[in-house]
């Protein structure tokens, strides 16, 4: 098995209510992710409404899989609370924004390592 650097991103355009969900995860049963940091931000230069963003790791966004949240989902923030978790095929790292500026492009970036075997 090889351990390689993990750096994956996902993007979503926030809807008319300033909400959106982006997710990324292993694409094959041969991959397991060991995320260390999750960062979120939008592409806005002028922010009217600062989005909140909740991070989850698992098959869905239920409370069981909640990792962390931020009140700086637009201007940018990161969390290392995901460190120590394993994300397998069929699971995702989810970023769920709410209360942001409609039409803003939001990005989640997951860094760490992944095992490929």
Q: What is the DSSP string of 22-40?
A: EEE--SSTTEEEEEEEEEE
Strands 52-58 and 66-70: antiparallel
In percent, how much of the chain has pLDDT > 70? 100
In terms of residue numbers, what domain contains 63?
A: 7-116
Residue 104: pLDDT band (50, 70, 90) is: very high
Q: Give CA–CA dist 68/44, Å, rounded.
A: 23
CATH number at residue 21: 2.60.120
Give whole-number Cα distances, 72 to 1, 25, 42, 48, 81, in Å.
37, 23, 10, 12, 16
Q: What is the pTM of this model?
A: 0.95
Give residue 45's pLDDT: 85
Q: Which residues pair with 89 in a beta bridge?
A: none
Q: Give CA–CA dist 18/28, Å, rounded.
A: 32
How many domains are contained in the chain? 1
Answer whether residue 70 is part of any domain: yes
Answer whether residue 2 is part of any domain: no
pLDDT (tens digit, 9 = 90+) per residue, 56-68?
999 999 999 999 9
């Amino acid at each position: 098995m090889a351990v390689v650097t993990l750096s994956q991103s996902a993007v979503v355009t926030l809807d008319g209510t300033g909400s959106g969900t982006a997710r990324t995860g292993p694409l094959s049963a041969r991959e397991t992710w060991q995320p260390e940091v999750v960062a979120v931000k939008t592409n806005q230069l002028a922010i009217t409404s600062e989005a909140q963003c909740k991070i989850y790791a698992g098959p869905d966004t239920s409370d069981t899989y909640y990792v962390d949240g931020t009140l700086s989902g637009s201007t940018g923030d990161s969390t290392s609370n995901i460190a120590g978790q394993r994300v397998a095929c069929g699971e995702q790292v989810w970023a769920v924004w709410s209360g942001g500026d409609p039409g803003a492009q939001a990005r989640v970036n997951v860094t760490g390592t992944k095992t490929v075997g």
